[in-house]
Amino acid sequence: MHDRHKLVCLALVSVVFAGLFIGIGLNADNYEYFLSRRVPKVLAMVIAGVAIGLSSLSFQTITHNRILTPSIMGFDSLYLFTKVLMVVMFGGLSGIAMNSYFNFAVSVTAMLGFSVLLFGFYFRGARQNLLVLLLLGVILGQVFDSGSSFLIMLMDPNDFATVQANMFASFNNINVDLVYLSAPLLCFISWRLYTLHRLLDVFWLDKDNAISLGVDVKSVTLQILLLSAVLISISTALIGPLLFFGLLVTNLTREMFASYRHKVLFGAVSLLSIASLLAGQWIVENLFGFTTTLSVVINFVGGMYFLSMLLRNKII
């Protein structure tokens, strides 16, 4: 099957399950209420899927490693640590902690600040080893996790209830305000990544060859890392952390599509992410009757896929 036909199939699957989410059970008496609940939920899954897919694919391109995702840099952990710290400082029921816009702005600012400090320290050195940067990200992620666990142990049970909603991925408690705030931000970042697609294609040839072909590897790498930080903050703010989802969709995209061009791969990974989240959540709700959650299924399947990649030595 041609890549174009695969894209059409993924788009159709996404549209079908989006229609099932929105349309089932609607009538003249309840459509206003159901649409106000269902449309933001579908939009949140679309935005989160695109954000995770784009960030993971571009991140793997610049690292030349199919097993790495932005989550390994500790961005998910930093997001949770920021939420916990705000609750500890201001209280779980305070106006500051309950303000979704302020929370989102603080989280994005913290991630960008963390990225600038981390990447600035990395690029300042004469010898730049991306694996050292990744190792530093893993260590700092563990520090943030430990700090969050320590603060959670000390906080009031009422404040813990406020934090608990952000500790796990959830598709049923979508913040409508953040959905409409994240949409234009995602569109801008997607456009920016698209403008870099030709340079990212050259990254397949390795760093030295990219430099010899005139690509400013340092500038492009820094841009991708910063854009990935914002994308991860968007997806985590909307639905929570999904550890293995980026790993799954990026590698499945590369196995399904023969093209090496990021212009095609960006659209493919976005559609595959949207179709996977919509179809998976619909199956969990209607076939499994909420006996499990989609995040548990993703982590189980992603963990098995992760181990299979290690056993097959397909990590590069």
With pLDDT > 70 as the criterion, what percentage of the chain qualifies? 88
CATH number at residue 207: 1.10.3470.10
Supply the DSSP symbol for 47: H
pLDDT digits (tens, 9 = 90+) for 17-69: 888 888 887 777 777 777 888 888 889 889 999 999 999 999 888 878 787 77
Phi, psi for 132 (deg, rounded to 5): -65, -40
Report the pLDDT value the prediction gives residue 122, as an integer from 0 to 100.
66
Spatial contact of 289 and 272, defined as CB atoms under 8 Å apart: no
**Residue linked to tokens 């609607």:** 26
Place of tokens 């299979």: 308
Total domain count for the chain? Answer: 1
Is 179 domain-assigned?
Answer: no
Percent of all residues in the chain with a pLDDT value above 90, rounded to a whole number: 14
Q: Looking at the domain assignment, is residue 178 inside a domain?
A: no
Which amino acid, one-letter code, is at 39?
A: V
Measured CA to CA, the distance from residue 151 to residue 15 in angstroms comes to 43
pLDDT attached to residue 93 = 66
**pLDDT above 50 for 135:** yes
- Model confidence pLDDT, tens digit, residues 209-260: 888 888 888 888 888 888 888 888 888 888 877 778 888 899 899 888 888 8
Q: How many residues does the chain have?
A: 316
Confidence of residue 316 (pLDDT cuts 50, 70, 90): very low
Residue 316 falls within a domain, yes or no? no
CA distance 301 to 266: 23
Please, are residues 240 and 167 in contact by the beta-carbon 8 Å criterion?
Answer: yes
Q: What is the mean pLDDT of the chain?
A: 81
Its domain, for residue 99, covers 3-167+193-311
Residue 183 falls within a domain, yes or no? no
| Separation between Cα atoms, residue 63 and residue 196, nearest integer Å | 16
Q: Does residue 41 fall inside a structural domain?
A: yes
Confirm if 269 and 57 have CB atoms less than 8 A apart: yes
- Looking at the predicted structure, is the pLDDT value of residue 311 above 90? no
Closest to 130 in 3D by CA, of 37, 230, 61:
61
Residue 124 in this model has a pLDDT that exceeds 70: no
For residue 63, is it within any domain? yes
Does any domain span residue 203? yes
What is the average per-residue pLDDT within 119-146? 73
Q: Which of 49, 71, 12, 44 is nearest to 253 (CA)?
A: 49
Instruction: Tell whether 182 is covered by a domain.
Output: no
Neighbours of 150 (CB within 10 A): 10
Q: How confident is the model at residue 102 (pLDDT cuts 50, 70, 90)?
A: confident
